[in-house]
Amino acid sequence: MLSAAALGLAGYGLWSAASAAIDLLGPRALEISADLTTLLLGLVLMLAAALVRVRMPGGLALALGALLGLQALALHASAHLHGEVQVVPQLGRAAFAVLLIALAWLGGRHE
């Protein structure tokens, strides 16, 4: 479970960082500060994935903080790009984040 959680967290972080980098280099859809923050949080999430995998104290908290920040930025992006917050994609992102945190927490428990 812990490996699946770490891979999921790393993949989510990589996807977030890559999409922010593409938006920074390509046609502008969001503010530079929003893209830079998304890029930074994606990198933090990739670091947190490694810390979660080795059961470093605080790694799960770091991953949770990065996921919450990315969720907030996704709400911001949805409001800017679509003129409204689309609920279903946001609930999907939130459910995926909860699944990853649950897998990491259950996988990191000592028996």
Quick: pLDDT tens for 31-45: 899 999 999 999 999
- Measure the CA–CA gap between 83 and 69, rounded to whole angstroms: 20
Task: Give the DSSP H/E element, type plus range, for residue 91.
Answer: helix 87-108
Measured in residues, the chain has a length of 111
Please, what sign has the CA dihedral across residues 41, 44, 50, 51? negative
Question: Is the model's pLDDT at 26 over the cut of 90?
Answer: no
> For residues 20 and 37, what is the distance between their CA atoms, to the nearest angstrom?
9
CA distances from 57 to 1, 28, 52 (A): 18, 38, 8
Q: Are 30 and 77 in contact (CB under 8 A)?
A: yes
Q: Please report which confidence band the pLDDT of residue 110 belongs to, taking 50, 70 and 90 as the band edges.
A: low
Of the candidates 42, 5, 7, which has an alpha carbon nearest to the alpha carbon of residue 22? 42
- Record the pTM: 0.90
* Sequence ranges of the domains in the chain: 2-108
49, two tokens:
């994935």
